[in-house]
């Protein structure tokens, strides 16, 4: 079962999104809030966040995406804007999916499943537009390991610092390698930069 949180200011739209998701046997709404800050206070074990942006698109939406991405959440944006430039802003901020207001419940469910499986999903209105790929989703532990790698720590030093075994460090590095396509220290440091890990 994939757990989903919805961030939306409008109660009626919240209800519609919740109904579209909850009729799916493999998806479950666990949190509905009106703001990202409320979500960060309430969210527990949420896998996917559906963030609605129904005003005229502005920089604030991509900043919210970046904030959620840096916390390790996978974000799908549902927006009034179908402009490629707006989608690119969100994707560069870390969004794994981007859908227009024309999206129906079936496509939303498809997007959530795709993102939950580690892929990206862009609505049919954006198909074939050569959108960039979002940085991979990383867990809080992977963020800690990336920070230590970027600082030059060895596997043993990482294990000591995080109070875990070296084998556990190797497991995390293998997962990071699968997500990024490389386990080389230089490439993982680049991943840390892409994911905003070194900005904290």
pLDDT tens sequence across 88-126: 788 888 888 888 878 899 999 999 998 888 778 888 666
Asked if 82 and 103 count as a contact pair (C-beta separation under 8 A), the reply is no
The domain ranges of the chain are: 2-126, 140-199
What is the pLDDT, as a whole number, of residue 200? Answer: 42
Regions of the chain with pLDDT less than 70: 43-44, 54-59, 124-136, 179-181, 194-196, 198-200
Evaluate whether the domain defined by 2-126 bears CATH number 3.40.50.1970.
no
Enter the tokens of residue 188. 């993982």
136 Cβ contact partners less than 8 Å away, ≥ 6 residues apart: 118, 179, 180, 191, 195
Q: How far apart are CA 60 and CA 62, in angstroms?
A: 6
Which of 34, 39, 37 shows the shortest CA–CA distance to 54? 34
pTM beyond 0.75? no
Mean pLDDT of the chain: 82
Q: How far apart are CA 67 and CA 29, in angstroms?
A: 21
Candidates 1.10.8.60, 1.10.3720.10, 3.80.30.20, 1.10.10.10; correct CATH number of 140-199? Answer: 1.10.10.10
Asked if 6 and 29 count as a contact pair (C-beta separation under 8 A), the reply is yes
The kind and range of the H/E element at 114 are helix 105-116
Enter the tokens of residue 54. 């129904």
Q: How far apart are CA 176 and CA 83, in angstroms?
A: 32
């Amino acid at each position: 079962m994939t757990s989903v949180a919805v961030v939306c200011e409008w109660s009626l739209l919240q209800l519609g999104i919740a109904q579209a998701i909850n009729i799916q046997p493999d998806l479950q709404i666990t949190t509905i809030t009106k703001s990202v800050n409320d979500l960060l206070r309430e969210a527990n074990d949420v896998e996917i966040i559906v963030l609605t942006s129904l005003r005229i698109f502005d920089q604030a939406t991509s900043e919210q995406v970046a904030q959620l991405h840096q916390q390790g959440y996978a974000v799908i944006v549902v927006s009034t804007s179908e402009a490629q430039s707006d989608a690119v802003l969100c994707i560069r901020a870390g969004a794994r999916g981007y859908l227009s207001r024309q999206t129906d419940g079936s496509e939303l469910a498809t997007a959530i499943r795709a993102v939950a499986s580690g892929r990206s999903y862009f609505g049919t209105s954006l198909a074939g537009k050569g959108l960039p790929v979002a940085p991979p989703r990383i867990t809080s532990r992977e963020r800690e390991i990336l920070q230590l790698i970027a600082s030059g720590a060895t596997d043993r030093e990482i294990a000591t610092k995080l109070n875990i075994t070296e084998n556990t460090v190797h497991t995390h590095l293998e997962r990071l390698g699968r997500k990024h396509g490389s386990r080389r220290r230089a490439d993982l440091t680049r991943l840390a930069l892409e994911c905003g890990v070194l900005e904290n």
